[in-house]
Structure 1
């Protein structure tokens, strides 16, 4: 119990360090590769994201979705990449190889589609090497370049808003 609190504190320090050293640069390059982070208890429709990205001409193989599950038993039915609290060590150390690959991938856009303030999800969002980060309102505003104020269950509204902003920013 005490070790868990120390681990969380060390990971929060790592997040703050990454945020302080973050270099925000904006480019008008079109979106080619997209990463999505989900919290499985809030939204679990992977196919909805894939269909949406296909509708804006982003190929299925250029979309990578990972989901956070709090209990390993919930992940038995998933075909996609998932991660849980056991995949995180001290000082931002990631123990899951697939998750580390996701973080190291330079996505054109990273979408953090969750509302719950979970340290492990925040760590992935901040540590990602994505060029442009989109998130939902309610979490620390420093994490994202674009914040959309919708609930995870309002996916249709989210799609419309994201498409509108990506068009305005000349990303699609």
Structure 2
């Protein structure tokens, strides 16, 4: 229990270091790849993200959706890419090769569709090499370049606002 608290403190310190050193460099390059991070404990319908990608003209092979769960359950086995707290080590070390591959992919846009404050989700967002990070999380504004303030249940509003801002930024 004590080691878990030290590990969490180590990861928080690493996260703050990452966010303080972050350089924002958004260009007007059109979107061709999209990464999406969700908390599977908050949302189960991931098919809507395929529709979202299709509406902004991202091909299915350029779309990557990953999910995070705070507990390992048997019913989550149907989900292909689900990650757990055990996939994270000390000082933001990633123990899962597939998760590390996702983080190393340079997406044009990363959508962080989660509300709950989970350190591991914040680490995924901060470690991602995406050019533009968009989210609905309201707590730490350093994580995302664009924050669309909606609830998880208001996906259609999020989709409409995302489309509007991507058009303004000349991304689509």
Tell me by how many angstroms 1:166 deviates: 0.3
Q: TM-score normalised to the size of structure 1?
A: 0.96
Aligned to 1:75: 76
Contact 2:114-2:137 within 8 A present in 1 as well: no
Contact 1:87 1:95 in 2 (8 A): yes
- Aligned equivalents of 2:49 and 2:139: distance in 1? 21
Aligned to 1:128: 128
SS in 2 for 1:64: strand
Residue segments in structure 1 that go unaligned for 5+ positions in a row? none
Runs of 4+ off more than 4 Å: none
Q: TM-score, normalised by structure 2?
A: 0.96
Contact 2:138–2:147 (Cα < 8 Å) also in 1? no
Q: Distance in 2 between matches of 1:139 and 1:97?
A: 29
- Cα drift, residue 139 of structure 1: 2.4
Q: How many angstroms does 1:137 deviate by?
A: 3.6
CA distance in structure 1 between the aligned counterparts of 2:142 and 2:62, rounded to whole angstroms? 26
Number of equivalent positions: 171
User: Which segments of 5 or more consecutive residues in structure 2 lack a partner in the other structure?
Assistant: none
Inter-partner Cα distance in structure 2 for 1:105 and 1:76: 24
Query: RMSD of the TM alignment (CA)?
Result: 0.9
How much does 1:71 deviate? 1.7
SS in 1 for 2:91: coil
